[in-house]
């Protein structure tokens, strides 16, 4: 189990629903603080930002609804990258687009099943753990990577993905966004490219809470032992370019560039789309799909236009 120390703020004006979520999550080993309104949620987040790792937020509430809470979180300098799971009765394309623009990458349709609640929370918890470890990872890894490897790196494990994405993000002016983009793209190269873990297999392992175990199992297979994800970084006076190349067969990247409302409540399949909208000047996939380049100009400003995906 990997949810140790993950602290969840559950927000819902329906007390029966709130009690049910709290019961399920505490039984699964999470720490949960529950509130019954958007106003109370925002007040708690502002007073105790270090006591929350992810937010489970109801979309429709009287007074301050879920979208307003989400917008406030997104604008807050400390809270803005906190993972948010949005609960909603119906998931439409416009609602998804609006939520994503404010940082809601995870959706849970009401009424929910216990297994789906736990699967979505487990998936969001990985993002929460990365956020928690980012500063520590940078401090522990930057000297080793910068002195040992120069501008070319090899990634073999999940821990390599975490460490290198954190270190390379320091080259970008929008460091927090860059770290998430690089993490998602490197992880995609490792698990889908080198390890051959398809969409359905990942969905099954995340839902069963055995995703990390499956990663380790595949890493230890003889045919995968020599495989690496190659990463290069090139910095000039006006831009930074990171190129990520895996040893897989490639894939049809075009259907993963944008969030699909039909997959919004799935526990996986959002990494590339998430990377796409997080501030890079461009993300370019090179056929057959086992190489991707992401670029950011220097300097950038907080209102940088969202990135776009090019296909070569």
Position 302 scores a pLDDT of 40
193-218 pLDDT, tens per residue?
999 998 788 888 877 778 889 999 99
**Portions of the chain given CATH number 3.30.565.10:** 149-311
Q: What is the CATH code of the structural domain delimited by 149-311?
A: 3.30.565.10
Percent of the chain with pLDDT over 90: 31
Residue 66: pLDDT over 60:
yes
pLDDT of residue 223: 96
Segment (H or E) for 165: helix 158-168
Looking at residue 214, its pLDDT comes to 93
Tell me, what's the pLDDT at 144? 58
Residue 225 has pLDDT above 70, yes or no: yes
pLDDT: which is higher, 278 or 73: 73
Q: Per-residue pLDDT for 137 more than 70?
A: no
Q: In degrees rounded to 5, what are phi and psi of residue 43?
A: -60, -45
**Mean pLDDT, the chain, as a whole number?**
80
Q: Averaged over 81-109, what is the pLDDT?
A: 74
Quickly name the fold that domain 7-121 has: Rossmann fold (3.40.50)
Q: Is 52 helix (H, G, I), strand (E, B) or coil?
A: coil
Contacts of 190 (CB under 8 A, 6+ apart): 155, 157, 158, 161, 215, 229, 246
Sign of the four-CA dihedral 218, 221, 223, 229: positive
Strand 291-297 vs strand 239-245: parallel, antiparallel, or unpaired? Answer: antiparallel
Segment 113-122 shows an average pLDDT of: 87
Lowest-confidence pick of 32-41, 107-116, 224-233, 298-307: 298-307
Query: Is the model's pLDDT at 42 over the cut of 90?
Result: yes
pLDDT of residue 269: 53
pLDDT digits (tens, 9 = 90+) for 281-311: 678 889 998 999 988 766 544 434 434 334 4
Domain with CATH 3.40.50.2300 in the chain: 7-121
Neighbour order of strands in the sheet with 239-245: 152-155, 229-235, 239-245, 291-297, 282-286, 308-311
Amino acid 275: pLDDT: 64
pLDDT at 171: 81
The listed range with the strongest mean pLDDT (67-81, 172-186, 226-240, 279-293) is: 226-240
């Amino acid at each position: 189990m990997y949810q140790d120390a993950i602290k969840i703020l559950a927000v819902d004006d329906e007390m029966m629903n709130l009690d049910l979520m709290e019961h399920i999550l505490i039984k699964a080993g999470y720490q949960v603080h529950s509130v019954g309104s958007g106003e109370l949620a925002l007040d708690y987040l502002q007073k105790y930002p270090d006591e929350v790792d992810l937010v489970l937020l109801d979309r429709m509430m009287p007074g301050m609804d879920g979208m307003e809470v989400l917008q406030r979180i997104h604008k807050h300098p400390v809270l803005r990258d906190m993972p948010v799971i949005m609960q909603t009765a119906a998931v439409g394309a416009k609602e998804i687009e609006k939520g994503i623009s404010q940082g809601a990458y995870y959706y849970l349709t009401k009424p929910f099943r216990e297994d789906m609640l736990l699967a979505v929370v487990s998936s969001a918890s990985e993002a929460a753990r990365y956020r928690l470890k980012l500063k520590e990872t940078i401090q522990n890894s930057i000297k080793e990577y910068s002195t040992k490897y120069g501008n070319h790196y090899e990634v073999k494990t999940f821990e390599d993905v975490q460490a290198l994405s954190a270190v390379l993000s320091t080259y970008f002016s929008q460091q927090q966004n860059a770290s998430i983009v690089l993490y998602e793209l490197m992880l995609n190269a490792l698990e889908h490219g080198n390890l051959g873990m398809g969409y359905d297999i990942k969905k099954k392992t995340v839902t069963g809470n055995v995703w990390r175990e499956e990663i380790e199992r595949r890493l230890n297979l003889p045919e995968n032992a020599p495989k690496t994800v190659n990463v290069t970084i090139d910095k000039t006076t006006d831009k930074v370019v990171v190129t990520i190349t895996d040893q897989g067969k490639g894939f049809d990247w075009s259907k993963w560039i944008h969030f699909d409302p039909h997959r919004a409540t799935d526990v996986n399949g959002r990494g590339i789309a998430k990377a796409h909208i997080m501030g890079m000047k461009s993300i370019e996939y090179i056929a057959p799909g086992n190489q991707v380049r992401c670029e950011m100009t220097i300097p950038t400003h907080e209102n940088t236009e969202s990135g776009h995906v090019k296909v070569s």
